[in-house]
Amino acid sequence: MEDFFGLLGPILQSTVRNATPLVFAALGGLFSERSGVVNIGLEGLMLISAFAGVVGANLSGSAFIGLGTAVAAGLLFALIHALMTVTFEADQIISGTAINLLALGGTGFLMVAIFGSGGTSPRIEGFESVAIPVLSSIPLLGPALFDQSILVYLMYVLVPVVFFVVFHTPFGLRLRGTGEAPEAVDTAGVNVARMRYYGVGLSGVLAAFGGAYLSMGLLSAFTENMTAGRGFIALAALIFGRWNPIGAAGAALLFGFAQAVTYSVNEQAIPIEFIEMIPYVLTIIALAGLGGRAIAPAAIGKPYRKE
């Protein structure tokens, strides 16, 4: 029994840590996709933000300023995606892919330009874990949930906030409408392009939190391609969670748990490649219709052109 708890505690803590960037990015993707714009550029947005955060923190010596530069970078590149897909009606997959490639190449290049070498950046001032008194001493769950960086706490708050915004505010109604039937929203006098800019912009901000958590929460440095596919896993969580914030967060926790298990058990026991497969297999299952099909917003991927 001792052994079990001894193993489970760290696994749970690691689950939350693995899931946090996925939740942020999935919530971001949710805003974008609910407005009708596919954002496979989440991966790139996270990577750019992770890098920008480290640069900001490195120059200023403040983690909060680093977070600010991360969000600014995420927003900026998301708006580029919006400009391409909403204003110029470019293919959303191609634009997203361009952002991913740009992020990978751009951060690699800027690493050398700013820090003098590729690979890993200098250590910066990150967000340390802050144990919440009392709550963090709950056995097992306490350390897992309440001895984390403040970005994790922000994530806890954002999940219900996003749920409220999407399903209980006029903004959310318009956003969902825009992703389902933009012409209906348009004739109701709501500006479709503006709603999509909001959706994509918010995806950049939220993905930036995820990226900042990677380089300033989990680690205190930027390493090349440190997102390592998390943007795509976040998209998988979004789909598996049926474009619902609670569902997406649950899926992200599940994926985070799978990762945590691999890290903690003997590598020979379960091949890590097998665990890495899980999010995608579950996504395929969700899309194929097990337990009710995952149905995407109807107008997703299609540029809206006024007559």
Which range touches other proteins (CB under 8 A), out of 20-28, 81-89, 152-160, 178-186? 178-186
Give every CB contact of residue 109 below 8 A, 6+ residues apart in sequence.
none
Beta carbons of 174 and 6 less than 8 angstroms apart: no
Rule CB under 8 A: is residue 183 a binding residue for other proteins?
Answer: yes
> Least CB distance from residue 154 to other proteins, whole Å?
19
Of the pair 76, 287, the CB lying nearest other proteins is at 287
Number of residues forming the site for other proteins (CB under 8 A): 22
Rule CB under 8 A: is residue 173 a binding residue for other proteins?
Answer: yes
Among 190, 193, 261, 300, binds other proteins (CB under 8 A): 190
**What is the maximal distance between C-alpha atoms in the chain?**
68
Distance CA 301, CA 39 (A): 9
Rule CB under 8 A: is residue 109 a binding residue for other proteins?
Answer: no
200 φ/ψ angles, rounded to the nearest 5 degrees: -70, -40
Which range touches other proteins (CB under 8 A), out of 109-117, 133-141, 185-193, 232-240? 185-193
Name the token pair of 266: 């003997």
Going by the DSSP 8-state scheme, the letter that residue 300 receives in this structure is T
> Least CB distance from residue 165 to other proteins, whole Å?
9
119 φ/ψ angles, rounded to the nearest 5 degrees: 80, -100
Of the pair 285, 298, the CB lying nearest other proteins is at 298
Rule CB under 8 A: is residue 185 a binding residue for other proteins?
Answer: yes
Q: Is the dihedral of CA 285, 288, 294, 300 positive or negative?
A: positive
Rule CB under 8 A: is residue 158 a binding residue for other proteins?
Answer: no
Beta bridge partners of 120: 223
Distance CA 139, CA 193 (A): 49
Q: At residue 251, what is the residue type?
A: A
Rule CB under 8 A: is residue 164 a binding residue for other proteins?
Answer: yes
Beta carbons of 161 and 27 less than 8 angstroms apart: no
- DSSP string for 69-83: HHHHHHHHHHHHHHI
Rule CB under 8 A: is residue 177 a binding residue for other proteins?
Answer: yes
Name the token pair of 154: 């922000």
Beta carbons of 214 and 21 less than 8 angstroms apart: yes
Among 6, 116, 189, 292, binds other proteins (CB under 8 A): 189
Which range touches other proteins (CB under 8 A), out of 115-123, 169-177, 207-215, 229-237? 169-177
Among 72, 93, 181, 300, binds other proteins (CB under 8 A): 181
Rule CB under 8 A: is residue 184 a binding residue for other proteins?
Answer: yes
Which range touches other proteins (CB under 8 A), out of 33-41, 107-115, 165-173, 204-212? 165-173
Among 62, 169, 225, 264, binds other proteins (CB under 8 A): 169
| Residue 293 CA to its chain's centroid (Å) | 23
Rule CB under 8 A: is residue 161 a binding residue for other proteins?
Answer: no
- Contact residues for other proteins (CB under 8 A)? 164, 168-170, 172-174, 176-177, 180-181, 183-190, 298, 306-307
